[in-house]
Structure 1
């Protein structure tokens, strides 16, 4: 499976996972960064973890505006 196909197949799931992680911020407070780093570390394959990380970055930038 090539990269573009992998991305298409998993984009929606990565967005949902990033949203789940993002939504936990209020509940976890100061512990969120460590928790989310651990969650990302446990995601496989690494390409999927990178997709979720990029979605989290997008959510963070969208919420700064």
Structure 2
């Protein structure tokens, strides 16, 4: 599977995962960053985790 195909196949799921992570920011307060890091660490495969990380950065900077 090419990088483009992988991205297309997983983009919607990565966006939903990033929204789920961001939704916990207010609830977790100062613990949020460490929690997000552990959640991202557990995602596989690594290219998917990178997609979620990029989407989380995008959502976090636009909000």
Report if TM-score (shorter chain) is over 0.5.
yes
CA shift at 1:61, angstroms? 1.0
Unaligned runs of 5+ in 2: none
CA shift at 1:37, angstroms? 0.2
What TM-score results when the alignment is normalised by the length of structure 2?
0.98
2: CA distance between counterparts of 1:10 and 1:49? 10
CA shift at 1:52, angstroms? 0.2
Count residues in correspondence: 63
Unaligned runs of 5+ in 1: none
1: CA distance between counterparts of 2:57 and 2:45? 19
After superposition, the CA RMSD in angstroms is 0.4
What TM-score results when the alignment is normalised by the length of structure 1?
0.95
